[in-house]
Amino acid sequence: MKVAFGEQINEALLQHERRRTMILIVLFAVGIGYRFLDLFVLKTTDPDTPTTTFGVTWLFPVTILLFEVVSFLIITKHLRSNQKTLPLAARYVNTIIEVCLPSCMIFIIAKQYPQFNVLNSPVVYIYFVFVILSTLRLNFWLSFFCGALAAASYVTFSYFIYKHFYASDGVKATILLFSGIAAGLVARQIRKGIDNLLKESEKRHLVEDLFGQQISMEIAEKMLEQDGKLESKRMRVAIMFIDIRNFTQFAADKHPEEIVQYQNAFFKIVIDSVTRYNGIINQFLGDGCMVTFGAPVELNNPAQYAVQAGLMLLDELNKVSANGGMPVTKIGVGIHTGEVVTGNIGTAKRRQYSITGSVVILASRIEQLNKQFGSQLLVSEEVIQSIDINTAPTCFGYVALKGWHKPVSVYKLA
C-alpha cells in the first residue's frame, strides 16, 4: 500500500509540474505573439520604451519559452516511462534557471538603457508569474525558494545597478518574498488535500480487495457505495448451483493440502467462467457453490448469461483435465430463473448479502437431479423460455423434486 501510495503521489507531482510548465509555455507564447502584433500592427508601443526593436532582450523570453518546452517534453517522457518522479535537486535547478533568465533580461536592459528604470517596468511582474505558478509544485520550500530568489534579485539590482534602496524597493522585495511564502503555504495545503485523498482512495481499494475476497466484488462495491447497506428489493435473477461429483470419495485418501490445491484449481475455472458472464458467487460450499446472475447488478436476461457460463465452465473443465492441469472432474449444474428478494440480512454487527426465494430452492433441487439423469447441466422450463440456444434441449418432462409441492419441467443442456 505504501509503495502504491508513493507512486501515486509522485505521479500527481509530475502531473502538476507538467501543468505548470504548460501554463508558462502558453503565457510566454501569447506574450511574444502580442509583442509581434504590437510592433507590426497595433503600433501602440511608447517610443521612449527601450525594447521597440528586436534587440538582445528578445532572446530572453524566447529562451524561457524554449526552456519550458524542453522541460515539458522531459516531464512527459518521465510520465510515460516507469520513472514517476523528478529529482528534487532538478526542481531547484529549474527554479534557479527560471528566475535567473528574467534577471538577466533586467540586467541587460538596465545596462543598455541606464536612463530607463527597469525596476519600475512591467518586466518585474515576470517574477510573480513564476512565484504564483510554483504553487503547482506542491512543495512549500520550492515556492519559498522561488520567492526568496526573486526578492534577492530585486535587492541586488537596486543596490548594485541603481545604487539605492528606497522604502518602495524594500516593499517590492518584501512582497516578492511574502508571495513565495504565501504560494508555499497554499501548495502545502493542496499537497495535504491530495495526500488525504490518495490515502482514502488506497484505504477504499484495500477494503474493496479484502472485502471482495470474502464476497463478490460487485456486492462489496454496492455496499461501500451505500455505507454498508443494501436495501431489500425484488429482482429477476438466474440462480446456478454447481456440485462436484464424488468429491467425498476423491478427498477420502488425500492430504488436506492436496484437497485445497484441487479446490483452488477447480474454483479458479468456476470464477473465470462465471465472471465472464457477469455472475457472482454467493457461497462456496466446499464441493460446490451457488452463483447469481442479475443481482446486485441487474442484467437484461440473466438466464442467458447463466446458461452461457455453465456451458463455458463444462468446456473449460474438460480442457484443463485433458491437459493434465487437474484430475478429471465431473460436475452437476442446475439453473432456474425468477424473482427473488435481495439485500442484507442480519444486524448492525453482522450482516450478510442474501438471495431469498423459491428460485434458490428450485435451482438446488434441479442440480441434484443430475445424479438421477446422468447429466451435467439441467435447467428449468422458465430458463428454456428465456434463452436462445443453437442445440435442442432434451426434455425430461415434469419431475418430482424432493421437498417441493409439485413437479417441475426439467431440460438437459449437457
- Nearest-angstrom CA–CA distance, 119 and 158: 8
> What percent of the chain is predicted at pLDDT more than 90?
20
Give residue 335's pLDDT.
96
- Nearest-angstrom CA–CA distance, 222 and 322: 39
> What percent of the chain is predicted at pLDDT more than 70?
83
- Nearest-angstrom CA–CA distance, 135 and 252: 68
Report which DSSP code applies to 396: E
- What's the mean pLDDT in 45-58? 53
pLDDT of 212 above 60: no
pLDDT of 325 above 60: yes
3-state SS class at 65 = helix
- Nearest-angstrom CA–CA distance, 378 and 397: 12
Peptide bond preceding 256 in cis form (omega within 30 of 0) = no
Range name among 147-156, 197-206, 211-220, 224-233 with the lowest pLDDT average = 211-220
Q: Where residue 77 falls among pLDDT bands split at 50, 70, 90? A: confident
Q: Chain-wide mean pLDDT for the chain?
A: 81
- Nearest-angstrom CA–CA distance, 228 and 238: 24
- What's the mean pLDDT in 92-109? 82
Q: Where residue 293 falls among pLDDT bands split at 50, 70, 90? A: very high
Give residue 209's pLDDT.
59
φ/ψ of 69, rounded to 5, equals -65, -45
**Total residue count of the chain as it appears in this document:** 414
Give residue 99's pLDDT.
85
pLDDT of 54 above 50: no
| 82 or 194, which is more confident | 194
- Nearest-angstrom CA–CA distance, 106 and 109: 5
| 198 or 262, which is more confident | 262
pLDDT of 203 above 70: no
Residue 41's DSSP bridge partners are: none
Closest C-alpha among 309, 308, 298, 307 to residue 340: 298
| 221 or 63, which is more confident | 63
- Nearest-angstrom CA–CA distance, 200 and 178: 33
CA quadruple 362, 368, 374, 380: dihedral, nearest 10: 10
What's this model's pTM, rounded to 2 decimal places? Answer: 0.54
Quote the cell numbers at residue 296. 446486485
Q: Where residue 110 falls among pLDDT bands split at 50, 70, 90? A: confident
Range name among 24-28, 239-243, 357-361 with the lowest pLDDT average = 24-28
Place of cell 456486492: 219
| 222 or 399, which is more confident | 399
- What's the mean pLDDT in 269-288? 85
3-state SS class at 241 = strand
**β-strands 331-346, 377-380: how paired?**
parallel
- Nearest-angstrom CA–CA distance, 290 and 208: 21
3-state SS class at 352 = strand
Give residue 199's pLDDT.
73
- Nearest-angstrom CA–CA distance, 238 and 291: 8
> Helices 59-80 & 2-37, crossing angle to 10 degrees?
150
- What's the mean pLDDT in 58-87? 80
pLDDT of 114 above 60: yes
pLDDT of 113 above 80: no
Range name among 145-149, 178-182, 320-324 with the lowest pLDDT average = 320-324
Which pairs from 9-14 meet CB under 8 Å and 24+ separation?
9/194, 9/195, 9/198, 10/84, 10/85, 11/79, 11/84, 12/138, 12/194, 12/198, 13/85, 13/86, 13/137, 13/138, 14/75, 14/78, 14/79, 14/84, 14/85, 14/86
Give residue 34's pLDDT.
78
- Nearest-angstrom CA–CA distance, 311 and 383: 14
Residue 377's DSSP bridge partners are: 333
Type of residue found at 310:
G
Closest C-alpha among 145, 147, 140 to residue 192: 140
Closest C-alpha among 102, 91, 208 to residue 138: 91
